[in-house]
Amino acid sequence: MSDSSEPAAAPANEAERQRERLLADVAALPGLPGVYRYFDAQGGVLYVGKARDLKKRVSSYFQKQHGGTRIGHMITKIVRMETTVVRSEAEALLLENNLIKTLNPRYNILFRDDKSYPYLKITGTAASSSPSGGRTPPSGGLGGSHYPRMAYYRGPVDQRHRYFGPYPSAWAVKESIQLLQKVFGLRTCEDTVFNNRSRPCLLHQIKRCSGPCVALISTDDYARDVANAERFLQGEQQQVMDRLQAQMMAHADALQFEQAAEIRNQLGALSRVLHQQSVEDNTGAATRDADILAVKVQGGRACVNLAMVRGGRHLGDRPFFPVHVDDATTLGAESATDDSGKLAASPEALVLEAFIAQHYLGGGVPPLLVLSHPVDKALIEALTLNAGVKVTAQHQPRDARRAWLDMCIKGADLRLAQLLAEEGSQQARTRALVDVLEIDADALDTFRIECFDISHTAGEATQASCVVFDNHKMQSAQYRRYNIEGITGGDDYAAMRQVLMRRYGKLAAQVAKRAEVIDAGGEALAARPDDDEVIAKPELRMPDLVLVDGGRGQVSMAREVFEELGIDLGLIVGVEKGEGRKVGLEELVFADGRAKVSLARDSAALMLVAQIRDEAHRFAITGMRAKRASVRTGGSKLEDIDGVGPKKRARLLQRFGGVRGVASASVDDLLTVEGISKDLAEAIYRALH
């Protein structure tokens, strides 16, 4: 008896020692502003917080009785703490949110770090400012650099060009480009196309381009149009119209009626555009760039809707859905009360503050934020300090800004309602599938499905896909592709065997080892992964259901693999095409001997199975096509060609706009690139053909 009890006592004593060390660290904290981090036994970050008074704030976690709440559950996991003392609350805000974005703690409100906003780019506007006089064609010495082009752009900025934005979506950028084409006739073609045209394109014929490629407009007039377009994008619409009006009258006084008519048409197009603009700031306010933020919290989920106004024009909105809302808002509310003595902030304000901090503290904040809920003034001060410009937050706007905010609030309500409806539908589908398959699932939120599909073209470039459905949604970050090798081309059964062996072979061995440890009377908990480890790496546990896209043949192969690995056959379900292979007539085939199950067309369970199966099919096909293209081009990649280093490769890609452009170039075209000799050009041409 004494032998069996001694090993169990050691961990308890170690846990007590860890707790004592933690409480001693808490007692030694200073009463200064700073940031604290809590860690679990595996070194994972549980929570990151800031405090005006570190000692007072952190002590409150361990002095209160939290019971069986989520906060109490988190506190039981804390084994270590780190703190950083800073000089001010603004510095604490900056550090806190940098750490949140870097560490992704489990109990903080987290927004996906997506700064890949699109911009509207006008190339080389500095070059366009030099007058040339007359209508000299490009072949006479002036290339595309003297006629700036508009383009959709996403990526790092280049100081040689002008960028306008950011825009909330690609659609908003393309709409603005079409608008500027109608009014100012700026070109959108690539330089390689522009420099080699001998006649105007279709865009000129439909009056969307002024035809600079064939000298139908002078560089002076084109530069004027570019300048007006830039002023328009900066919100100077009235100034642009006044300039155009003056130019039209000057041409008329000089009896240049054709030029005056062209400007008259521009004015008409611009007036129509401004009239169609649904929301515009005509108040004359100095601030023409603003972001409008509205938040809605309901049912444990939250939506922050971000609308962008640039140059006084409303460009559209974009929703963001954070995670860990329930846990983090509870912790944040306690933090607000304990740390400052103020009333606890509302969940909406806490979510909004988290978004503002994570989204803007890295830069890119406009001078005005119009908010649906008031936020901590210290946060706005930190934004101003970080951005180097005055940032103003407005909670109760008037006039046009009130209209902006009302639209944004309505958008947040609609997007969150849509999300909750979709999640409710997905939960209903999960429940329906569990009921149909008679699976004993205690927690639907952790019900995990993995689905496999094989894809190839006549045996070429065979790939298997594995997609994952967990927590009522597809988990794209956990998708995997497997290159299938060493089999006869087109043998789908062998491919399925290989992917299942690779997916579950090691996992089955781990499961068997744990069982041996338990049977031997050892400490089972020490041999199995902790809950936190499973959450961090979901692939460490077996799925609750394995879907195979195929009928009895594929299911039989899966059964052989699972029997060999010692895995429960009840996990395997095949999706077999029904009569005539028609959609909606699929049948479920089981590996453990159960009879087939046919589901009604409107069955929620069938909808979920079809959704997962179709996603596995899509993922497999896209991977197969990419692999097939790689196989067929063989050594066609530029980096595989002898003599083509990083610099030459960059010049080639820049000159021809990508690998496809290089592949379509002739030897003579390749010779125009700096550093490419005739021998090397011929070698590149041969490799790409």
Average pLDDT over residues 588-602: 84
Percent of the chain with pLDDT over 90: 12
Model pLDDT for residues 176-229, shown as the tens digit of each residue: 888 888 888 899 998 888 888 888 888 988 888 989 998 888 888 898 889 888
Task: Please list, in sequence order, all residues whose beta carbon lies within 8 angstroms of the beta carbon of residue 424, skipping any fewer than 6 positions away.
Answer: none
Same structural domain, 513 and 641: no
Higher pLDDT, residue 364 or 369: 369
- Say what the pLDDT of residue 408 is: 92
pLDDT at 490 over 50: yes
Asked, for residue 525, whether it belongs to a domain, the answer is yes
- Say what the pLDDT of residue 295 is: 94
Cβ 547 vs Cβ 575: under 8 Å? yes
In DSSP terms, 164 is beta-bridged to 120
Confidence of residue 468 (pLDDT cuts 50, 70, 90): very high
Asked, for residue 433, whether it belongs to a domain, the answer is no
Q: What is the CATH number of the domain that holds 71?
A: 3.40.1440.10
Asked, for residue 266, whether it belongs to a domain, the answer is yes
Confidence of residue 581 (pLDDT cuts 50, 70, 90): low
Distance CA 197, CA 526 (A): 72
Higher pLDDT, residue 199 or 523: 199
Same structural domain, 98 and 124: no
Model pLDDT for residues 55-78, shown as the tens digit of each residue: 888 888 887 766 666 677 788 888
Model pLDDT for residues 622-655, shown as the tens digit of each residue: 877 776 655 444 434 676 677 887 778 878 877 7
| Per-chain mean pLDDT for the chain | 79
Structural domain count, the chain: 5
Q: Which of 628, 656, 675 lies at the terminal end of a domain, its last residue?
A: 628
Task: List, in sequence order, every beta strand (DSSP E) within 359-470.
Answer: 368-371, 392-394, 449-457, 460-470
Same structural domain, 184 and 248: yes
Average pLDDT over residues 302-326: 85
Residue 169 CB coordination number (10 Å):
15
- Say what the pLDDT of residue 3 is: 47
Distance CA 231, CA 219 (A): 18
Same structural domain, 582 and 600: yes
Same structural domain, 261 and 299: no
Average pLDDT over residues 289-296: 92
Same structural domain, 611 and 503: yes
Q: Which of 216, 246, 276 lies at the terminal end of a domain, its last residue?
A: 276
Same structural domain, 265 and 186: yes
Write the burial class of residue 352 (CB in 10 Å: 0-12 exposed, 13-18 middle, 19+ buried): buried
Model pLDDT for residues 150-182, shown as the tens digit of each residue: 988 887 777 788 888 778 888 888 888 888 888
Q: Provide the whole-model pTM.
A: 0.63
Same structural domain, 255 and 390: no
Q: What is the CATH number of the domain that holds 300?
A: 3.30.420
Same structural domain, 389 and 484: no
Asked, for residue 341, whether it belongs to a domain, the answer is no
Residue 149, domain extent: 119-276
Beta strands at 460-470 and 368-371: parallel, antiparallel or unpaired: unpaired
pLDDT at 452 over 90: yes
Q: Which of 70, 103, 136 lies at the terminal end of a domain, its last residue?
A: 103
3-state secondary structure 122-179: ECCHHHHCCCCCCCCCHHHCCCHHHCCEEEEECCCCCCCCEEECCCCCHHHHHHHHHH
Confidence of residue 131 (pLDDT cuts 50, 70, 90): very low
Write the burial class of residue 634 (CB in 10 Å: 0-12 exposed, 13-18 middle, 19+ buried): exposed
Higher pLDDT, residue 283 or 76: 76
Asked, for residue 680, whether it belongs to a domain, the answer is yes
Same structural domain, 68 and 202: no
- Say what the pLDDT of residue 532 is: 46
Same structural domain, 470 and 590: yes
pLDDT at 553 over 50: yes
Average pLDDT over residues 79-105: 87
DSSP annotation of 635 reads G
pLDDT at 30 over 50: yes
Confidence of residue 526 (pLDDT cuts 50, 70, 90): very low
The letter for the amino acid at 683 is: A
Beta strands at 80-85 and 45-51: parallel, antiparallel or unpaired: unpaired
Q: State the distance between the two ends of the chain, measured CA to CA, in whole angstroms.
A: 78
pLDDT at 130 over 70: no
pLDDT at 469 over 90: yes
Length of the chain: 689
- Say what the pLDDT of residue 627 is: 65
Q: What is the CATH number of the domain that holds 586?
A: 3.30.420.340
Among the residue ranges 156-160, 215-219, 400-404, 594-598, the one predicted with the least confidence is: 156-160
Task: Please list, in sequence order, all residues whose beta carbon lies within 8 angstroms of the beta carbon of residue 299, skipping any fewer than 6 positions away.
Answer: 420
Asked, for residue 648, whether it belongs to a domain, the answer is yes
Higher pLDDT, residue 447 or 344: 447
Same structural domain, 261 and 307: no
The candidate with the shortest Cα–Cα distance to 178, out of 276, 101, 295, is 276
List, as own/partner pairs, every contact residues 157-163 make where C-beta atoms lie below 8 angstroms and the sequence separation is at least 24, other chains included.
Answer: 157/119, 160/123, 160/124, 160/126, 161/121, 161/122, 161/123, 161/124, 161/125, 162/121, 162/122, 162/125, 162/230, 163/119, 163/120, 163/121
- Say what the pLDDT of residue 524 is: 42
> Where do we find the tokens 């006869």?
488
- Say what the pLDDT of residue 583 is: 62
Asked, for residue 327, whether it belongs to a domain, the answer is no
In order of 26, 56, 60, 98, the CA distances from 63 in angstroms are 11, 10, 5, 28
Asked, for residue 114, whether it belongs to a domain, the answer is no
pLDDT at 580 over 50: yes
